[in-house]
Structure 1
């Protein structure tokens, strides 16, 4: 059962902390996207803001994984939350004191990107320490549930909060969410993994991480496939505001509810992905989900009704999140715990690089043509993932022996 891993107090506290953190991040990210479009009317500006987000994440990902593998992962998460909360309070104060300035949103995007890149490396590596291998698929299912519960609650309320109390209040609530999340993280009690090569320099540890993946090309490529749903989600965030505004003639409430529907789909994946993989095969399940995603995204591109948008968003959340659960579990089963932070950081860095290249250009394309084109591009991206995954599994097994 998925919820069996919550019997242990340490993972239960992590689960609650992850929900609260995800709620805060989702609420402010959704609010920032709509706030910028509302004030500037430019999808190019939204694309630029998201580009800054991913550039900042890419820059920190170069050393975040090595940092995560050399220090206590729980402590890293605690301090990351506190620092992000303080930064958001400063930005909210700047908005309240001087009014709207696009530079403040760009600063928010940079902080958000750095915090997310570090959080992904540290939190997923911590999960490897908290759970035995046989429980990883249930743990990853619950992680996706926690993320999407936080995100769909954020999607459901962000439109209303923005409309009635403003973006500044959303930033304050996000800061509070980080602090509350830290309280639950502080209650996690576990025996931290001894750090391998503790005396090695930062550069030597970084180099060892690169060599680890270089010696396992199939595992490296599987990691590349695992980031495709993340990149697709970023494209979705760029496309959705303009799509809601022009294709279905919606407002901030429709925008927030659309994002909430994505979260509902992600929530469902936490309950459906693992049972489906057991009933079929994990390999077959991943191929089917990729195919459903391609067909759904292509259909949304030509849609003009709000109801079908909501249904499509549920399916996007379901397919993207299910792929993350199944492929991330495979990676956790295959990558040595001592190298998980660095491996995750490499894949996140590549993901962020792809997002950086596409975000601003996509905003320009949408402004010039149609938001529906963005969904066509998303369908193409998922189709590429389908082909690469199929070829990878046809040629050679991906799973590598975990080093002691």
Structure 2
């Protein structure tokens, strides 16, 4: 289950990112609670998420060109340093009680711009850290595990700290946590960077990446399914403060427990993927977990019982992360190395870029019809959006099979990868994110 940790550089990455991600989740909970406490507006909750994630939608494809052209290690050192500066600035404003909603929107947009370059670069960088190619799928699954271990620990801690000392301390802890990931990056022993001489300009490279990704149905299908899940499913995190305070009649600790339960389910899903020896069967897994996620959201939207809501959050977390990580694994397996950065930037654009649009739509609709009906609609759309993927899975499997034969992957894994990857070709981790 942990074989990718045999690679020293990946082990450093895993530990540094794991510590830093706990801070990231603490800041996310603190910021959501702060905005809702200051404004009592569901729309503004969506607006903050929109401002933090829309830059990924706009910049993601260009970030992929950057990730293929420049030293990914140095790019990550820069993005993580800038993220730390953003967190310290936000913490200072909150702790001095001078924070206003425009500060939150502006700093969220700044962080979103940084993440637009960070996510695609980090996704492509992981491949450089794993010494054995057959350990790559395990590394991707462990990335999801790391992301969700932090998601399990961070929100409950944040909820307790907010109740005790306020939101500012949570954001300050996140700022300090960046030192862990910067330290891990500096301790890595990497091969000298060799810049690939590309005759094409940025725009030509970008168009080439789009043609490659959307011209090959399996890659296109995976990106589409991630985009749909992000558009219809991710807004549930925006609405959670409203459920915690107004429907379950709790406080910041209730929000922390709900997000922690979702994190526990997601961690279970990531470990489920990590113990798999190949990608065989991942196509079917995507179908089942997308349906599970949608149904769990529908049931959660009608729940007024805290324990039942926690259980449903657990199922939703499991379904969401297994779907996302399975798509990531299959993409990383079938994509050509020289286009990996651009394809993973499109994955990041689908994942992070569609979420803000969904958040704004969900916030606007919730103001009109209520959060319960809004979330139920989101769950229903998630469940039905996997139908085209399920119908086209056999064709996609046939298209992917030759790739694994060409890669010469270990026989037992190859057959699994073929069927799984074909499966994976259906429509569809930040720091993991």
2:72 equivalent in structure 1: 73
Normalising by structure 2, we get a TM-score of: 0.86
Provide the aligned C-alpha RMSD in A. 2.4
CA distance in 1: counterparts of 2:7 and 2:331, whole angstroms: 23
CA distance in 1: counterparts of 2:114 and 2:392, whole angstroms: 32
Normalising by structure 1, we get a TM-score of: 0.92
| Superimposed CA distance per residue, residues 72-111 of structure 1 (whole angstroms, 9 cap, x where no aligned partner) | 1122111111111112222333344462311111123213
Q: Is the 8 A contact 1:31 1:170 kept in 2?
A: yes
Q: Is the 8 A contact 2:67 2:120 kept in 1?
A: yes
TM-aligned CA deviation for residue 280 of structure 1: 7.8
The number of equivalent residue pairs is: 403
Q: Flag the 1:401–1:288 CA change in 2: closer, same or farther, 3 A.
A: same
* Of 353-362 and 308-317, the range deviating more from structure 2: 353-362
TM-aligned CA deviation for residue 257 of structure 1: 0.9
1:272 equivalent in structure 2: 272
CA distance in 2: counterparts of 1:195 and 1:220, whole angstroms: 28
TM-aligned CA deviation for residue 391 of structure 1: 2.3
| Superimposed CA distance per residue, residues 299-356 of structure 1 (whole angstroms, 9 cap, x where no aligned partner) | 1121111101111111111111111222211100111122121112223334445333
TM-aligned CA deviation for residue 211 of structure 1: 2.6
CA distance in 1: counterparts of 2:332 and 2:305, whole angstroms: 40
2:38 equivalent in structure 1: 39
Secondary structure of the equivalent of 2:364? helix
TM-aligned CA deviation for residue 183 of structure 1: 0.3
CA distance in 2: counterparts of 1:279 and 1:52, whole angstroms: 35
1:157 equivalent in structure 2: 157
* Of 275-284 and 323-332, the range deviating more from structure 2: 275-284
2:255 equivalent in structure 1: 255
Secondary structure of the equivalent of 1:401? helix
Structure 2 unmatched ranges of 5 or more: 408-433
* Of 48-57 and 192-201, the range deviating more from structure 2: 192-201
1:100 equivalent in structure 2: 99
Q: Is the 8 A contact 2:23 2:174 kept in 1?
A: yes
1:333 equivalent in structure 2: 333
CA distance in 2: counterparts of 1:347 and 1:60, whole angstroms: 12
| Superimposed CA distance per residue, residues 176-196 of structure 1 (whole angstroms, 9 cap, x where no aligned partner) | 111221101221223267444
TM-aligned CA deviation for residue 278 of structure 1: 6.1
The 5 Å alignment of 1:274-313 reads: 274-275=274-275, 281-313=281-313
| Superimposed CA distance per residue, residues 274-316 of structure 1 (whole angstroms, 9 cap, x where no aligned partner) | 5468698222222222222232222112111110111111111
1:241 equivalent in structure 2: 241
The 5 Å alignment of 1:92-131 reads: 92-97=91-96, 99-131=98-130
CA distance in 1: counterparts of 2:97 and 2:249, whole angstroms: 32
Q: Flag the 1:149–1:44 CA change in 2: closer, same or farther, 3 A.
A: same
TM-aligned CA deviation for residue 198 of structure 1: 4.0
Q: Is the 8 A contact 2:144 2:270 kept in 1?
A: yes
Secondary structure of the equivalent of 2:386? helix
CA distance in 2: counterparts of 1:387 and 1:157, whole angstroms: 38
